[in-house]
Structure 1
Amino acid sequence: MASKISDPPRPLPTATTRTPAAKAPQPSETNKVKTPDLKWNKDCFEPGNAQPLPLPKPPVSLPLPLPKPPSQLPTDPKPLPTDPQLPTDPKPLPTDPKPLPLPEPGPVEPTPEPKPEPSITDSDPMTHIAYLASDELQGRDSPSAGLDAASAYVQAHVEKYGLVGPNSNNAENPFQQKFDVFSFVGKPETSATGDAGEHDHAAHKEFGHQLFQEGFYLEDGMPRETLEMLNKKYESTMKAEGQPLAPARSGDLRSVEELRALATASGQAVNTMALLPGTGPHKDEVIVVMAHLDHVGTDRRGNVHNGADDNASGSAVLMAAVPELAEAQKRGELDRSILFIWTGAEEKGLVGSQYFVDHPIPGLSTEQISGVVNVDMVGRWDDQRLSVVDTDRRGQANYFRDVVDQANAQLADPFDRINRDINVYRDRQDGAVFGRKGEDVLFLFEGLSNPKGGGDLIPEYHEPEDDIDLILRDNGGEKPRRVKDLMVNVIELAANRTTAKE
């Protein structure tokens, strides 16, 4: 396994102060997809005080002599004189000239494709939030066509900047890792009046999910540890619903086949991933940078839960960091590799992250991971504070504590407050599944109301009102931009850190 918390770090490398990234034009304060105005190119000019230029006068036509009528023309005109210098009987031109020999074709040099320059709009999280949180994606449920569209959008972005799909297990698309989603819970019941009930997630007033809280994956050959968790989940679910248990056919665990018969399948979800290879001696190690791409879809009343803060904001921060980190890699400034993961089915219970840990990518197993950064809900409130979790399961600070402080100091306008009082959420976010494997995890989060730390979740948590206009109202989009700048600093420091063993 790559260097963990037990390795006391040497002083972190210093870097120049990061200036705030250039802003793209802010997106419209509505999520609705508008039809573009096609009248912009019509000849419409604003009236002004300037006098019109005089039109040019037409040219004056001189009178020409009229031709004589036919009766006045000579009846026997003399033949025109011939030029004695011209031949009277010229030789005919050849009708079938021989073609000139063409040069032999040589090898055609391929025209190199120009590498894209970092785009201001690509580097602005608000650009990506505007799309990911649009009604077009219908809340990005797991599984859904909206989540698939979001995955395709992310993939097109990372491919543009030269990142590679690392999942060689999926030859069809190495940028994706697909898994089936199941549940032990039956269909939600309507109220006694016959009206549709509230959204399935409306009761979640506490941030995050426990593992497999509302869904899970099932697959032949899955780790026994995960199968044990699913057996316990089945038993607790049946007990809560007052239903009898189906006993295991043999032994103390129900098999994958037995659990599949007891569960309800909802479809296939996807993890989207991309690798930015390192260029130094530790390029075989990876820093995992992740955010969940999914949200909760639509409710039974047809309301779209766009999830602008939860978690289009974190997903967009990752996307906006790609151009800058790709440039750093071209300059040879990233020792370790960077693995980006946009997980699916986080809202079902950290399903996508657990599937990734149980099915590591060839060459990118937990042994190669030397740090994990998870970003969730970083769009709201003011832009001068941020909450983090940088401790292990024993509550001890990991190496990211010093990294965050130094990364913040490198900003041209550092965050005023880095709050570290949300350890209660350590196990309710995607990074927790890596923490259970002994990885050092940093969790960047801002969903609480108290500027000095703690407080309540945003009132719009898992509600249809979680839209981009509230991010613009709170901070004009500066919060996601500043989190992106901080995260880039964190990744560069983590990718280039040295340990006591070196």
Structure 2
Amino acid sequence: MKKQLYTLGMVAAVLSACSTSQTPTASTAGTGATPSAVAVGAVSADPTKYAQTITAADLERHLRVLASDSLEGRETGERGQKMAAEYIAKHFRANGLTGPVKTGANPYYQTFDLEKSSWGDGYVMVGSKKFSMGKDFFVLGASPFQNEEAAQLVFAGYGIDDPAYSDFANVDVKDKVVVVMAGEPKKADGKYLISGTDKMSTWSQDMRTKTAAATKKGAKAVMMVMGSTDAEFQQLTRRYASYLNRPSIGFGTTASQPRAAMLYVSPTMAANLLSTKPETLTNYSTSVTKAGKAVASPYKVASNVKIKTARNRQPLPTENVLGYIEGSDKKDELVVISAHYDHEGIKDGQVYNGANDDGSGTVAVMELAQAFAQAKKDGNGPRRSILFITVTGEEKGLLGSEYYTDHPIFPLENTVADLNIDMIGRHDSAHASNPDNFIYVIGSDKLSSELHAISEAANQKYVKLDLDYTFNDPNDPNRFYYRSDHYNFAKHRIPIAFYFNGVHEDYHQPTDDVEKMNFRAAEKVSRLVFYTAWELANRNDRIKVDSNKK
């Protein structure tokens, strides 16, 4: 078990700060209101009283509704998801939370349209040679090539546009299809050129980073070369083949919100696009490593390329569910507590109830909302405002949280942190001997050392869980930091902490049921999130963004 530990001195200092920083000063209280009315309540209150309202029994009561067969697996945009949204919104309303959405019929719903679609005919012609979708290439997300269309190609190295390294200098990609290599360059000493260390950057970890860079430059599509051989390409893209005939859900491409399409292509197809041989494609990486910087394209791109990736589309309205507690003297600053409430729906006649993924996080958010609401009713409301958000579309690519951060109800610059809960109350094989008393914490130190210290201190003072940082390693192959909704906040440089109990044999299976949940374990984790949120909401100073770890 790999852990990251702060010294006892650091933890003691933070614990001291937790108590001393709560006394309102003249500057913090001088807001035009009486200090006792705006700040003293939460400062003087014992958070334990409210943490204890978060109980295993209540978590189970809510989860037996949300993970029941009657909600049909909470598939994004479908009836069961909307039933879950209604249940969550009623809970927020019943506990006195405000619906903060000013538009639409329901102030607790942030509604938006996704697109449900399935593939039709798909191919790429390079001269007279035809490459087939599902064999030679795969499209991720939407594509603008509904009908056969001539495409102008350009090669742009790795497709990276970073202060430390850019492939776009003197390269015009507007309205073109950009061919790029997967991954990122290394230096001659084997370290990554961008980070200067052995740690990969987001340019390797998250393909959306390259899509976003190409979109910003005006590109129409990105073709990323996957693998060094066609056999490796098939291995790397095997899971996409199984999705090819299934309907998928995404944002789609519109004139007002264009997105460069992303295609994963085989080395043989890439070689034809670049007028070379598959075995010579690695020469480009070698030349970049030797130069220690981006180099000019050595390839002559094909000039007679036509693309068709037909898509059958229909709009799919869906909604994030939001509950809001306004703060007192620091109400313009916001703490976000999040989880996704969608799951996999019904497949082959079986309901995928998603009790753990992520019914568990959803009911935790509901319980935290109730606890903070009770504190406010008692005159101990938070100094900063708190937004409780359960998002849709996580299983389809973190879509609900992406929509919120692209269309925030409250300014992102005023958002202090996001505490995200996804899959708690189970255990993985690494914790079989200690299933009741651990939690993986991911990302708490990546943007703010203070958030990490607050989390550690809250745990040591109140909960005493085993905090496991195994998956916080930037080179961990699971890449969990990029795989839940907190990441859409983190990419906007909002500090996050992700609470997660690991993957088990029922992950994304129809057997992920309520009966397998450990609600006592979920209660402990939920209370840890509560204590951390309490400190974030009530401390004098907003936590600093003082690091940029990957």
CA contact (8 A) 2:98 2:325 kept: yes
Distance 1:11 1:210, change over 3 A: farther
Distance 1:329 1:241, change over 3 A: farther
| Bigger radius of gyration among the two | 1
Q: How many residues align?
A: 337
CA contact (8 A) 1:18 1:410 kept: no
CA contact (8 A) 1:12 1:498 kept: no
Deviations 1:163-204 (A, max 9, x none): 11111132x1111112222256528xxxxxxxxxxxxxxxxx
Q: Secondary structure of the residue that 1:439 maps to in structure 2?
A: coil
2:355 is matched with: 308
Distance 1:333 1:12, change over 3 A: farther
CA contact (8 A) 2:116 2:316 kept: no
User: Which of 239, 245, 264 is matched with 2:313 structurally?
Assistant: 264
2:500 is matched with: 445
The structure whose residues are more often strand, as a share, is: 2
Q: Which amino acid aligns with 2:489?
A: F
Residues of 1 paired with 2:90 and 2:543: CA distance?
A: 39
Q: Secondary structure of the residue that 1:463 maps to in structure 2?
A: coil
**Is residue 530 of structure 2 the alignment partner of residue 488 of structure 1?**
yes
Identity of aligned residues (%): 28
1:375 deviation in Å? 0.5
User: Which of 372, 380, 383 is matched with 2:418 structurally?
Assistant: 372
For the aligned residue pairs, the C-alpha RMSD in angstroms reads 3.6
Q: Secondary structure of the residue that 2:441 maps to in structure 1?
A: strand
Q: Which amino acid aligns with 1:406?
A: A
Distance 1:285 1:149, change over 3 A: same
CA contact (8 A) 2:54 2:367 kept: no
Distance 1:333 1:176, change over 3 A: closer
Deviations 1:218-239 (A, max 9, x none): 475756xxx3xx3233x44999
CA contact (8 A) 2:486 2:496 kept: yes
2:250 is matched with: 216
Q: How does 1:5-84 map to 2 (within 5 A)?
A: 12-14=17-19, 16=46, 18=48, 21=52
User: Which of 86, 92, 95 is matched with 1:161 structurally?
Assistant: 95
CA contact (8 A) 2:15 2:461 kept: no
1:409 deviation in Å? 2.4
User: Which of 399, 411, 418 is matched with 1:351 structurally?
Assistant: 399
- Structure 2 spans left out of the alignment, 5+ residues: 1-12, 20-44, 121-204, 212-239, 241-247, 274-307, 428-434, 473-478, 545-550
CA contact (8 A) 1:141 1:147 kept: yes
Residues of 2 paired with 1:434 and 1:175: CA distance?
A: 20
Q: Secondary structure of the residue that 1:139 maps to in structure 2?
A: helix
CA contact (8 A) 2:344 2:395 kept: yes
1:89 is matched with: none
Q: Which amino acid aligns with 1:21?
A: Q
1:278 deviation in Å? 0.5
1:265 deviation in Å? 2.9
Deviations 1:84-130 (A, max 9, x none): xxxxxxxxxxxxxxxxxxxxxxxxxxxxxxxxxxxxx6xx2111111
1:365 deviation in Å? 1.6
- Structure 1 spans left out of the alignment, 5+ residues: 1-7, 27-120, 188-207, 246-258, 448-456
CA contact (8 A) 1:288 1:338 kept: yes
User: Which of 383, 397, 407 is matched with 2:458 structurally?
Assistant: 407
CA contact (8 A) 2:447 2:496 kept: no
Residues of 2 paired with 1:307 and 1:346: CA distance?
A: 12
125-134 vs 329-338, greater mean Cα deviation? 329-338
Distance 1:263 1:398, change over 3 A: farther
1:405 deviation in Å? 1.3
1:276 is matched with: 325
CA contact (8 A) 1:209 1:349 kept: no
1:433 is matched with: 488
CA contact (8 A) 1:390 1:400 kept: no
Residues of 1 paired with 2:94 and 2:512: CA distance?
A: 30
Deviations 1:119-160 (A, max 9, x none): xx6xx2111111111001000001111000000000100101
**Is residue 476 of structure 2 the alignment partner of residue 390 of structure 1?**
no
Residues of 2 paired with 1:407 and 1:315: CA distance?
A: 22
Q: How does 1:64-463 map to 2 (within 5 A)?
A: 124-170=58-104, 172-182=105-115, 185-186=118-119, 215-218=249-252, 227=258, 230-233=259-262, 235-236=263-264, 262=311, 264-265=313-314, 267-279=316-328, 281-299=329-347, 301-330=348-377, 331-361=379-409, 364-381=410-427, 382-391=435-444, 395=446, 398-411=449-462, 413-415=463-465, 417-423=466-472, 424-447=479-502, 457-463=503-509
Distance 1:284 1:500, change over 3 A: closer
Distance 1:396 1:166, change over 3 A: closer
Residues of 1 paired with 2:524 and 2:543: CA distance?
A: 34
Q: Which amino acid aligns with 2:115?
A: F
Residues of 2 paired with 1:340 and 1:23: CA distance?
A: 15
CA contact (8 A) 2:54 2:371 kept: no
1:11 deviation in Å? 6.0
The structure whose residues are more often helix, as a share, is: 2
CA contact (8 A) 2:63 2:514 kept: yes
1:37 is matched with: none
Residues of 2 paired with 1:238 and 1:287: CA distance?
A: 44
Q: Secondary structure of the residue that 2:323 maps to in structure 1?
A: strand
Residues of 1 paired with 2:372 and 2:529: CA distance?
A: 11
1:469 is matched with: 515
Distance 1:427 1:136, change over 3 A: same
CA contact (8 A) 1:209 1:429 kept: no
1:326 deviation in Å? 0.9
Residues of 2 paired with 1:388 and 1:311: CA distance?
A: 16
Q: Secondary structure of the residue that 1:483 maps to in structure 2?
A: helix
Deviations 1:33-83 (A, max 9, x none): xxxxxxxxxxxxxxxxxxxxxxxxxxxxxxxxxxxxxxxxxxxxxxxxxxx
